[in-house]
Structure 1
Amino acid sequence: MAVYAGDRTDWVELAVQSVLNQTYRDFLLCVVIDGPINDEMRVLLTALDKQQKRLVLIETQTNLGLAACMNGVIDYASTYSPRYFFRMDSDDICFRGRLARQVKFLRNNPNVDIVGSSLVEIDENGKGVGRRKMPQQHHEIMRFMTKRCSLNHPTIAMRYRTFEQGFRYNPDLSNTQDYFLWVDLAANGFVFANIDKPLLKFRRTKGFFKRRGLAKSLNEFRARLYAMKTLKRVSPGNLFYACSVLFVRMLPPKLLKIAYKIDRLILHLLVRNK
């Protein structure tokens, strides 16, 4: 988990406590302070660090970005010989059984390398405003891969052996790092899965659609082109879809919000029918 200047302290506290209160207890929570933070946030994190043996703070002098922070944690935690790597953002909330559920899944499915889950979207007040489902089986995830990122990044759990083969997030990307990584892993034969049960509450704030601007839209477009080329699935249909999504991403926030809801509805229908 990485925290930044401008993050809400109360949301960060909820996120951290949702991990510390997990039913599965054998974990280390790494919180990266990525650049300067306000005094209130520092007081909270310092107090939690002193109270909790399962929490460690890592601080950078300047803002490095999420990909660099995750890579740093991956390298730092490798000294503990961990078996799994979990992700979440500092405004998300894990359901209490999340870690236990994903650890059990990976133990029962030794062929699966990366497992995500569906999630519940919540607003600023914690009220549910939607649900984001994903295809569950590897072949379904691969079928969607050239059109969309087929895993909810804050929900994933990965076997650490994945990183031992040299794979990392691309630190040159300010967003969509996960999509590019999934494509690389898919091309190298790694196996994906999603758990249908929601294991995380994802914070969808009022500014969510405004933040999905030109830079992120272009990176998503690049990721789709990269997926087509790397997975050898270049086709008129996939190219048309990528261009269509790029056009939709350029819409005003109000129209983009409607398009987002329609996209989720279509995805849920496709997933349900498979």
Structure 2
Amino acid sequence: MINIPNVAVAMSVYKSDKLSYLIEAINSILEQEYEVFHIYIEVDGAISSDVKSYLNSLNPETATITYHRENKGLATRLNQAIDKIIQSGQFSYIARMDSDDISDSSRFREQVDFLSKNQDVYVLGTDIIEIDNDNNPIYYKHMESDSDKIKYNIIKKCPVNHPSVMFRVDLFDNFKLRYQDNLMNTQDYYLWVDVINKGLKISNLNIPLLKFRIDENFHNRRGFKKAINEFNSRIYAMNKLSIFSFSNILHTILLLSLRLSPEPIKKFAYRYMR
């Protein structure tokens, strides 16, 4: 029986991750006001020697590092971290964290407090502040907190900011949900659809508890494959949740058109049309 609601942190690191950003990300976890946590880092293929040296310097009582030779993608590595967390039997919650973002020091405390008081919520995200390469704020992203509205608007807006999420371990243990590891991107959206399809609630704290980095490669990564996966994810959601409508279909087609448009148009839309 767990008396203290321990938090496990699930992260993945791969070859493109920048050491300085990774250090900031992990430091933001190590400096949490809520101190009962353990970090699980899955290393997805070959990484630079300086990143490996840094990871090896982390206290094994605080972080478990697992190295993998092959690059299998985020979904596979997060599923592996989730399996380790469940097998340990020590945790009530799993917090997501990316290797270039920054968590507010109160993040875990705020999320654990909310989940402790709202037993029907299984996935909890937060508002975020988007930042540039130099940590300058670019945009405040406000998220919907009402679970019913999140379900209703899932075609037109992703329910949560993936790196800000805290899950109940029961979501993966009792309900047997996982990321679809055949996907190299958009895996989080499919998971949100599966969560809602199980009749479970998703919510957000309207506090900016994560700084989300928008680097120079952000829009380049949203290429053809990402566009197709996003299109397919909306069709998946409409099928799973029985929410086919003219409005949802039109939005899905327009989203695909936007994702396939030239980069300047994507940047403009991302900045001014949200």
Shorter chain as denominator, the TM-score bin is: over 0.9
Gapped regions of structure 1 (runs ≥ 5): 265-274
Deviation per CA, 1:152-206, whole angstroms, max 9, x where unpaired? 0000111000101211000000001010011111011011110110110111012
Task: Give the partner amino acid of 1:256.
Answer: K
Does residue 233 in structure 1 map to residue 233 in structure 2? no
1:59 counterpart residue number: 67
1:271 counterpart residue number: none
Deviation per CA, 1:93-146, whole angstroms, max 9, x where unpaired? 100010010000000111111110110101111111112221111011112112
CA distance in 2, matches of 1:261, 1:6: 25
Does residue 79 in structure 1 map to residue 92 in structure 2? no
Q: TM-score, normalised by structure 1?
A: 0.93
**3-state DSSP class of the match of 1:209?**
coil
CA distance in 1, matches of 2:101, 2:271: 20
Q: TM-score, normalised by structure 2?
A: 0.93
CA distance in 1, matches of 2:196, 2:231: 18
Contact 2:159 2:202 in 1 (8 A): no
**3-state DSSP class of the match of 1:210?**
coil
**3-state DSSP class of the match of 2:207?**
strand
Per the TM alignment, residue 263 of structure 1 is displaced from its structure 2 partner at its CA by 3.0
**3-state DSSP class of the match of 1:247?**
helix
Does residue 29 in structure 1 map to residue 39 in structure 2? yes
Structure in which a larger fraction of residues adopt strand: 2
1:189 counterpart residue number: 199
Structure in which a larger fraction of residues adopt helix: 1
Per the TM alignment, residue 148 of structure 1 is displaced from its structure 2 partner at its CA by 2.6
Task: Give the partner amino acid of 1:169.
Answer: Y
Per the TM alignment, residue 79 of structure 1 is displaced from its structure 2 partner at its CA by 2.4
The alignment-based identity, stated in percent, is: 35
Aligned positions, number: 262
CA distance in 1, matches of 2:61, 2:138: 35
2:23 counterpart residue number: 13
Contact 1:148 1:224 in 2 (8 A): no
Task: Give the partner amino acid of 1:37.
Answer: I
Task: Give the partner amino acid of 1:93.
Answer: I
> Which one is further off, 53-62 or 235-244?
53-62
